[in-house]
Amino acid sequence: MSARTSFANWPCSIARTLDVVGDAWTPLVLREAFYGSRRFDEFQGELRIARNTLTDRLRRLVEAGLLEKRLYETEPPRYEYLLTEQGRDLFPVLAAMAHWGDRWLAGPEGPPITLHHKACGHDGHAEVVCSACGEPMRADDTVARLGPGYPDRLKSRPDVLRRFAPE
């Protein structure tokens, strides 16, 4: 079995995020946590995931700080898994994935799940909007630029300059 590639030190927040949630089961475990699952058997029952795989994903999510493991029964010891602030901050990512899937993969009967926004009382979907002006951000009107955390040692490389040239 080959070692898992780590993206933890890449100068890219997408790669770093994938280092934490970038397998098929982890986003589904998080989805179930957003749906209200807290206990091992709830996750296992909803996902039909192998127990050893679920144990590994829960452990990794706790280590990464997305879930908190809390003892709820002492004899025998049993734990529940609660989303942390860091874990709850992934909700927009999962909502955006659901919206994409609803648009491109749902059948003619429509989306399998809808998101209900309790604040306004309507069903809705995720939108990525500019934090400065509130307008939607789309691929054709958004460019990536070097940020303050990009490693100095890489900034002068021709391939980096070409990819992130100011427009």
User: Mean pLDDT over all residues of the chain?
Assistant: 94
- Bridge partners of 82, per DSSP, are 68
Give CA–CA dist 70/33, Å, rounded: 14
Q: Is 48 left (phi over 0), alpha (psi -120 to 50) or beta?
A: left
User: What Rg, from alpha-carbon coordinates, does the chain have?
Assistant: 19
Quick: pLDDT tens for 101-152: 999 999 999 999 999 999 999 999 999 999 999 999 999 999 999 999 999 9
pLDDT of residue 12: 93
CATH of domain 13-88: 1.10.10.10
Which pLDDT value is given to residue 167? 67
- Mean pLDDT over residues 154-164, rounded? 92
Which tops the pLDDT comparison, 72 or 3?
Answer: 72
What phi and psi values does residue 159 have, to the nearest 5 degrees? -65, -35
Amino acid letter for position 3:
A
The pLDDT of residue 154 is 94
- Are residues 29 and 58 in contact, defined by beta-carbon separation less than 8 angstroms? yes
| pLDDT for the residue numbered 40 | 98
Query: Domain residues of the chain, as ranges?
Result: 13-88, 91-127
- Over 60: is that where the pLDDT of 2 sits? no
Asked whether the predicted pLDDT for residue 45 surpasses 90, the reply is yes
